Structure 1
Amino acid sequence: MNQNKRFCLALDLKDDPALIKKYKEYHWSGQAWPEITDSIKSAGISDMQIYCTGNRLFMIMEVDETFDPKKKAEMDVNNPKVQEWERLMDQFQIPLPWAEDGQKWVPMDKIFQLA
Structure 2
Amino acid sequence: MRRYALALDLVEDPKLIAEYEAYHQAVWPEIRASIKDAGIDDMAIYLFGNRLFMIMDVNNTFSFEKKNEMDVTNAKVQEWEALMWKYQQAIPGAKPGEKWVLMEKIFEL
Q: Tell me the TM-score normalized by structure 2.
A: 0.98
**Larger-gyration structure (1/2):** 1
Distance in 1 of aligned mates of 2:38 and 2:70 = 8
Is residue 2:103 matched to residue 1:108? yes
Q: What count of residue pairs does the alignment treat as equivalent?
A: 109
Q: What per-residue deviation string (whole Å, max 9, x for no partner) do you get for residues 46-77 of structure 1?
A: 00000000000000000000001101101100
Shift of 1:102: 1.2
For 1:65, the equivalent position in structure 2 comes to 60
Gaps of 5+ in 2: none
Is residue 2:29 matched to residue 1:34? yes
Give 1:21's aligned amino acid. A
Distance in 2 of aligned mates of 1:68 and 1:9 = 14
Distance in 2 of aligned mates of 1:73 and 1:61 = 15
User: Which of 4, 17, 22 is the aligned partner of 1:7?
Assistant: 4
For 2:46, the equivalent position in structure 1 comes to 51
Distance in 2 of aligned mates of 1:48 and 1:35 = 15
Instruction: Determine what percentage of the aligned residue pairs are the same residue.
Output: 60
Q: Tell me the TM-score normalized by structure 1.
A: 0.93
Distance in 2 of aligned mates of 1:57 and 1:102 = 17
